[in-house]
Structure 1
């Protein structure tokens, strides 16, 4: 049975990518469950370890958000939700971003306070197999064990996010990068305490907290702009998505089209496109010609789920109408 996003049937490559993404998110949750337990058992009074533990717990948000969103978007559009359930991806993205931002702000304040007040976190010993060893060794060993898998997870998820145009999966890949950087920072902080540098722990905790806060800011901004129907961008928000230009180029090549301009709404995984077309004089398209043009646009990319072709006398300003063109000339 083919995998789908709502009424959009996925091509073979994207279908395979979706199944891989679901599997790797379950693996991520299993790994984080082990890592969270392990770090909790050895974190002691270290600020850096506490920040790393909280960061690991927050890392559960994107995988759960992705798995929930995938279930919701598979529902078909209905009378109540005529555009389908694809916006659940944006909502999940926003929830994850707010959680990261809130906790990052709290940890930044907490870590900075500890650094300013010159707190000296004690790290004692623990009896293990009849021998007393410094707890810091266990802390560093635990954090070292949490480094390799997040690096691999992040690389795989980044590739899958591009194939599926999934910004929640991209945010999760970004979180995996923060995970291993956090682990490395915690090791440095604990090692600093062992060397007598009391400030190293709070400094490492502050580094981790700022990293979480930065991730929260980026993801909140991206999710809010998507929910506000900003111009559709690539999965990493790096540039405008090329599908809009492809649609305009295809329509512009039709014999009855004089001018064309499109606006693209990113629904989560798929796009809804409105293309405004100024026909050539005396060449108003028939219903058959409009249907053929619509189908050709949908065939360009699997993400083009809905497209509306609107014959119009003059292009609206926001898609390249005359007022916008005159403004562009003045700006030059």
Structure 2
């Protein structure tokens, strides 16, 4: 068996970003320049997102009044602080090199961050859904009064609408900026954050509809909008909880958006099949967070026993497929494991 790390750079202190052209690492894996640049931009965007969402939480809290939809939007904006914080913490932890207690490194920090954000979303979403539904059942009529602003009397609903416009534009823009970075970095926490933010404008639009509904006498519009928003939070939470738990249970590697199995699994076996001494192979590709752990079981051609040089060369071929191929084990076997299906 040949087991090698994806990179063979000089050892540095734990948590160091490493040397080289990119200067950014996930554990032992030094990022290519494109991914290093994507990581720098993603970190800046998440800091901007965190600070921006803090202002949104403040603005919505100041204008919420007695509107259930506004209160629900405030909770959702507060929850939106969790994913960027989880991303920044996970990236920092993921930079650490493997230790004796953590021989696979700290890449799973991304999965933990994903799971934390998902549980927070689902739990609060369910509570808000129950509260909003009870408001409809009880027939609550939330009043929206007036305020004095710059010497003028203004319906407070207009301030709520303005607050929702402010909180809706930012996530729409930031979410679209994060999606391509999530794909480049294979970062599911960043993708979950981008996906949630991309849809946040719908929350803002629903809240605006609820507030205006109260203004024209539709008492149920406020609780109805709050219920729709909370159900959206529940959907996001459930989807992310499902993907986070299956990833931590070592589901086969999937794409950054969890839409399909990652094509690298097939590419690994195709690359091994092109070697002159290989008859067939089956590989297990495990998503460690940003990088993949590859275990390839290889059946040599009849009468051919691979040398150490050939095994190491096979591992090098796999490492060259993609920067995400972090840890490689190539194992010559007589019979391929039946538990690993053919990716083709």
After TM superposition, the score normalised by the length of structure 1 is 0.96
- Once residues 171 and 320 of structure 1 are traced to their aligned partners in structure 2, the CA distance between those partners, rounded to angstroms, is 29
Is 1:122–2:139 an aligned residue pair? no
Local SS of the residue matching 1:268: coil
Shift of 1:259: 1.1
Whether the 8 Å contact between 2:35 and 2:184 is mirrored in structure 1 is yes
- For residue 177 of structure 1, report the CA deviation from its aligned partner: 2.2
Matches within 5 A, 1:147-158: 147-158=168-179
Assess if the C-alpha contact under 8 Å between 1:178 and 1:212 holds in 2: no
Flag as ranges the 4+ runs of structure 1 deviating above 4 A.
none
Match of 1:273 among 287, 294, 298: 294
User: Could you tell me which residue of structure 1 aligns to residue 112 of structure 2?
Assistant: 91
Secondary structure of the 1:147 match is helix
2:315 corresponding residue in structure 1: 294
User: For 1:85-115, what per-residue CA distance to the aligned partner results, in whole angstroms no more than 9, with x for missing partners?
Assistant: 0001000100000000000000000001101
Do structure 1's residue 37 and structure 2's residue 55 form an aligned pair?
no
Tell me which of 164, 176, 187 is aligned to 1:143: 164
Among 306, 312, 328, the residue aligned to 1:307: 328
Q: Does 1:256 pair with 2:274?
A: no
8 Å contact from structure 1 (residues 294, 309) kept in 2:
yes
CA distance in 1, matches of 2:222, 2:180: 35
In 2, the alpha carbon distance for the partners of 1:320 and 1:11 equals 31
Q: List alignment gaps of at least 5 residues for structure 2.
A: 1-18
Contact 1:259–1:278 (CA under 8 A) maintained in structure 2? yes
Q: Are 1:15 and 2:32 matched, yes or no?
A: no
Deviation of the 1:44 alpha carbon: 0.2
Alignment of 1:50-129 (within 5 A): 50-129=71-150
CA deviation vs aligned residue, 1:181-234 (integer Å, no higher than 9, x gap):
111110000000001000000000001000000000001000000000001000
How much is the aligned-residue C-alpha RMSD, in angstroms? 1.2
Contact 2:173 2:198 in 1 (8 A): no
- Supply the distance in 1 between the matched residues of 2:62 and 2:185 (Cα, whole angstroms): 38
8 Å contact from structure 1 (residues 58, 100) kept in 2: yes
1:176 aligns with 2:181: no
- The answer on 1:223 being equivalent to 2:244 is yes
* Structure 2 CA distance for aligned equivalents of residues 64 and 80 of structure 1: 26
Q: Distance in 2 between matches of 1:156 and 1:318?
A: 40
Q: 1:178 Cα deviation (Å)? A: 3.2
Instruction: Select the structure that is richer in helix.
Output: 1
Q: How many residues align structurally? A: 323
Q: Which SS does the other structure have where 2:320 is aligned?
A: helix
Per-residue deviation, 1:117: 1.2
1:285 deviation in Å?
A: 0.3
Contact 2:164 2:205 in 1 (8 A): yes
Comparing 311-320 with 210-219, greater Cα deviation is found at 311-320
Unaligned regions of 5+ residues in structure 1, if any? 326-332
- How far, CA to CA, are the matches of 1:100 and 1:213 in structure 2? 7
